[in-house]
């Protein structure tokens, strides 16, 4: 049910002729995820480095759950009168991804999850409700208007196509880009205020290793 609710935002996006309007309405999906604390792969994986390695076993489960949920949502919508229009819009998006290079998809996925992290982290940390909602609005709208690749949204779009030939490889590349982008944004956030954070060593990355790695890349 959580994935069906989330993909309603994607369905609204597909059915809009104006991209900006669709992007703004797409924010409803992430708002639902944050408000109800559902498991969205792209948001959860940003914080993987804070967690012990054994907890990483849940990420493939979340990814597969997102995939099944988006397929279910697409299947249900295909039974309605809006199905043909949504299918046509999704197939246009999928053709663009199929014609792209794997490197391009990875980079677009990388930048996408930087903005997903901005949206999720802003929702989690801003004390005022207005700040939380603006974080989601800015983060999601920017990545959609920029044409970046969101793996869970792409699961939904690919679900409208007959067959997954070549699509799964591209989806995995986009997912890898999302993971790396989310981790990069998380790393920048951790060291952004104090130069080098002092956190408990319960996660995969120890404070010492994090400080050394950050000194190289940031």
Report CA-CA distances (Å) from 86 to 24, 81, 168, 209: 17, 10, 21, 47
CATH 1.20.1080.10 for domain 2-217, yes or no, is yes
Which of the given ranges, 39-43, 77-81, 102-106, has the highest pLDDT on average? 102-106
- What does the alpha-carbon distance between residue 194 and residue 214 come to, in Å, rounded to a whole number? 12
Confidence of residue 65 (pLDDT cuts 50, 70, 90): very high
Confidence of residue 37 (pLDDT cuts 50, 70, 90): confident
pLDDT for the residue numbered 11: 63
Confidence of residue 184 (pLDDT cuts 50, 70, 90): very high
Q: If DSSP codes are grouped into helix, strand and coil, which group holds residue 83?
A: helix
Q: Between 107 and 212, whose confidence is greater?
A: 107
- What does the alpha-carbon distance between residue 119 and residue 141 come to, in Å, rounded to a whole number? 10
Provide the whole-model pTM.
Answer: 0.82
What interhelical angle do 102-125 and 167-191 show, nearest 10?
40
Q: If DSSP codes are grouped into helix, strand and coil, which group holds residue 147?
A: coil
| Triad 133, 46, 166: Cα angle to 5° | 105
Is the predicted pLDDT of residue 100 greater than 50, yes or no?
yes
Residues 114-134 have a mean pLDDT of 91
| Triad 26, 31, 32: Cα angle to 5° | 100
pLDDT for the residue numbered 20: 75
């Amino acid at each position: 049910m959580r994935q069906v609710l989330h993909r309603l935002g994607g369905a609204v996006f597909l059915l809009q002729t104006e991209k900006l309007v669709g992007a703004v309405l797409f924010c409803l999906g992430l708002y639902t995820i944050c408000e109800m604390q559902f498991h969205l792969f792209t948001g959860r994986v940003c914080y993987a480095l804070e967690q012990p390695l054994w907890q990483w076993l849940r990420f493939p489960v979340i990814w597969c759950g997102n995939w099944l949920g988006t397929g279910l949502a697409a299947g249900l919508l295909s039974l309605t009168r809006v199905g043909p229009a949504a299918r046509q819009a999704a197939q246009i998006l999928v053709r663009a991804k199929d014609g792209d290079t794997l490197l391009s998809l990875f980079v677009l996925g990388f930048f996408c999850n930087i903005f997903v992290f901005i949206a999720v982290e802003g929702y989690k940390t801003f004390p005022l409700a207005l700040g939380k909602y603006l974080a989601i609005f800015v983060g999601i709208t920017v990545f959609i208007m920029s044409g970046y690749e969101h793996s869970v949204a792409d699961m939904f779009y690919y679900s409208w196509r007959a067959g997954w030939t070549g699509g799964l490889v591209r989806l995995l590349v986009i997912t890898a880009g999302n993971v790396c982008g989310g981790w990069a944004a998380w790393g920048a956030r951790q060291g952004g205020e104090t130069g080098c954070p002092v956190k408990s060593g319960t996660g995969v990355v120890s404070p010492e290793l994090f400080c050394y790695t950050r000194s190289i890349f940031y």
